[in-house]
Structure formats: C-alpha cells, structure tokens
Structure 1
Amino acid sequence: MSAVIGYARTSTIEQVAGLEAQRRDLERAGCTKVFSEQLSSVDAKRPELARAIEWAREGDVFVVTKPDRLARSTKDLLAILDTLQAKGVQVRILSMDLDTTTPTGRLMVTVLGAVAAFERDLMLERQREGIAKAKAEGKYKGRKPSAALKADDAVRLVKGEGLTVSAAAKALGIGRASVYRALEGK
C-alpha cells in the first residue's frame, strides 16, 4: 500500500506559524506521514528530510508545499528529485500543482527552481546594497562584538581563576578562538 509523505521546513525557530501552515496544507493534501524541521536549508544536514526520503518506498507520493521548502538550489532540488524518482516515488509540489513524474512537470520544476535561485540572488544583492548605503550614512553598525566585550572576563577566568580555555569559552558563551585572542591581547 502506497503512502503520501509530507515534508515541511522553516528556516528559523521563530517561524512556528509557517511550519504549522505547511503541516496543515500537507495534511489537507492527504499526507499520512509528515516530517518537519526548523533549520536553514543552507545547513549541511537536514535530518528530517533524510529520514523522509529514506522512509519513502516505491509507489509513494512525496509532497511539499513549495520547492524552496525542499531544496537550497536548483541543483539540490534536481538531486533530491533524482533520488526520489530512482526509488519509484512521485513528487508533488502543492504551490505549483506539479507532478514531477512527467517530462513537463520536471521541466517546470527546473525552470521554476532556476527562477527562485535568481530571485534569491537579487534579494541578497539588494540586501548588500542596503547595508552599504546604511553604513555610508552611519546608520548601520553591524552586530555588537560580543566576544570582544567579554575579553576581560575571559582573561580573568583563565589567568585569575585557572579555568581551561574551553571551560572559560563555555562559561562565557563564546568561542575558544575568542578566548585565545583575549589572552594574546593581555
């Protein structure tokens, strides 16, 4: 008996409503098993996606709400589609009403994936331009250098209290390299 498998993802933990909306849409589409996670697609590992793909069997249907929830790039999308299709699993993308088992469906996903990547590149370019403009106007300061603000505490913990660099870094919530930089500066 074939299953209808759903996969939902949001980039951050703050996007709870978006994840719930995806789950709802997947259940409405008939998904009996839904895998979901909250992490950026840029992350090297997406454990729930890997579990969903592994769980899928020949004859199953793999459903996502939008292509950007499934893949980080056109190349990544096509690799995931190849993996699923090699297993005999159909893929549906709800937002496009696409079925990738047909040549037309695969062409459309490739074209739309390329457009999505292009759109993302444009968005990042606009973001960089906006930051450059804000810096030129003195309105953008960037994030506060939290590790630099804790340099004195790092030195005190290592030299004064005898903690290891690793222990001091953990206690302060900064990286070991930041502790070493603080020690070199003092």
Structure 2
Amino acid sequence: MIYGYARVSSNGQDLAQQLAQLDAAGCTKLYREKISGGTAERPQLKRAISALDAGDVLMVTSTDRLARNTRDLLNILHAVKEAGAGFRSIAEPMVDTTSQFADVIIAVLGVAASYERHRITERTAAGRVQAKARGVKFGRRAALTPHQQAEALRRLAAGDTQRTVAALLGVDQATISRLSRKQD
C-alpha cells in the first residue's frame, strides 16, 4: 500500500496541489495536516507512520513537506524503516529508500545532517559573538535589581529571616539563599 503525506505550514496555504500529485502517484491513503514542519508534534504524520506495514511506502511531494532539516528527515526515515516500509519523494526521485541504493541515500543524508549541524553551530557561535559585541546580555534576568539585592542583604544582616525577606521582595526563598551564599 502506498500512503501519501501532505503538509502546509499555515491555514492560508492549500493542500490541493500536493494531494493531486500524491493521488496521481498512486497513493491509496492520504494523510494531511496544516501545521508547522518545525514541530515534532504532527499527529497525522505519526498516524501515517504507525499505519505502515512491511512493504508499504510513505510518499511525499517533496522532502521539505516532511521535514525542516536533514536530522528530522533521518529520524522520520528511521521510523519508516523500522516499520519495514519504504519512503519516496516525488520532487526528489533520488530520495527513494525502496531502491537498491537506499543505504547509500541514507548515508549521504547522514553526512548532510552532520554538516548541517556543524554549520548551525558555527552560525550560532558567530551570532553570539556579534550580539555580545553589541552589548547583549545572555542568561536569565536577575530576579532582584541591585537595589533590591542590597536591601535584602541589609535586612538579612539586621536579623530578618530569608523567608521574610523573600516574601517582602516577592521572590522565592531560594533566590535570597543564593544571594546570601554569594556574599559569604
């Protein structure tokens, strides 16, 4: 059995073209959803994969309709393979795990995923350096302003309990405890 999966990112887009292509390609059961490919929570994709049996094929019009990046694509291909099924993309005929070259295709996609991950790490690091140079502060914002921290320390020194100071400043006692330890 050939299962088709179609996805669009927003309600403004139309699935009709994808569904027509999948129907023309011989898909006997179609799964469709209007949800971002950036999320792993795609119920119809999960249903399609869980419906696969040995010898079945999951088909898409294009791999970008299935996954946003190579890592996601590899994870989905792994799930399809675990079901004993194959995968085909209409727009990218070389992405066909039912062919003799399936292992080669998956290996090439794995190398691409590794390269893509490396490039993302490089771009993220470069962006972080640029942001720091512009004065962007990273990490969580302090729960207390410097003035509040000084007030908390003054009250602790005057004998107030951490719980009392925390309640007064509207923070958790752990915040006051960390502040107190930092000053010791």
Tell me the TM-score normalised to structure 2 length.
Answer: 0.56
The alpha-carbon deviation at position 72 of structure 1 amounts to 2.5
Question: What amino acid is aligned across from residue 35 of structure 1 in structure 2?
Answer: Y
Between the aligned partners of 2:91 and 2:42, the Cα distance in structure 1 is: 22
The CA deviation at 1:110 is 4.4
Find the aligned partners of 1:45 and 1:114 in 2 and give their Cα distance: 23
- Kindly state the Cα deviation for residue 43 of structure 1 after the two structures are TM-superposed: 2.7
CA deviation profile, 1:21-78 (whole Å, cap 9, x unmatched): 1111111111000100011112341010011011111110110111111112211111
Report the residue type matching 1:99 in the other structure.
D
Structure 1 residues 20-169: aligned runs within 5 Å: 20-97=16-93, 98-101=95-98, 102-110=102-110
**1:30, 1:113 → 2: CA distance?**
30
Pairwise CA RMSD: 2.6
Distance 1:114 1:41 in 2: 20
Deviations 1:124-164 (A, max 9, x none): xxxxxxxxxxxxxxxxxxxxxxxxxxxxxxxxxxxxxxxxx
**Is the 2:38–2:67 Cα contact (8 Å) retained in structure 1?**
no
Tell me how many residue pairs correspond in the alignment: 117
Q: Matches of 2:44 and 2:86 in 1, distance apart? A: 18
Quote how far apart the aligned CAs of 1:113 are.
Answer: 6.5
The equivalent residue for 1:141 is none
Q: In 2, are the aligned partners of 1:4 and 1:30 still within 8 Å (CA)?
A: yes
TM-aligned CA deviation for residue 107 of structure 1:
3.6
The code of the aligned residue for 1:21 comes to: Q
Change (3 A) 1:29 1:110: farther
User: Quick check: which has more Rg, 1 or 2?
Assistant: 2
* Counterpart residue type for residue 42 of structure 1: G
- What is the aligned partner in structure 2 of residue 128 from structure 1? none
Structure 2 residue corresponding to 1:8, chosen from 3, 6, 9:
6
Identity %: 39
- Structure 1: which 5+ residue stretches go unaligned? 122-186
C-alpha distance 69-52 of structure 1, shift in aligned 2 (>3 A)? same
**What SS does structure 1 have at the residue aligned with 2:91?**
helix
SS of residue in 2 equivalent to 1:99: coil
SS at match of 2:87: strand
| One-letter identity of the residue aligned with 2:37 | S
Q: What amino acid is aligned across from residue 63 of structure 2 in structure 1? A: P
TM-score (normalised: structure 1): 0.56
Q: Which amino acid aligns with 2:84?
A: G
List alignment gaps of at least 5 residues for structure 2. 121-184
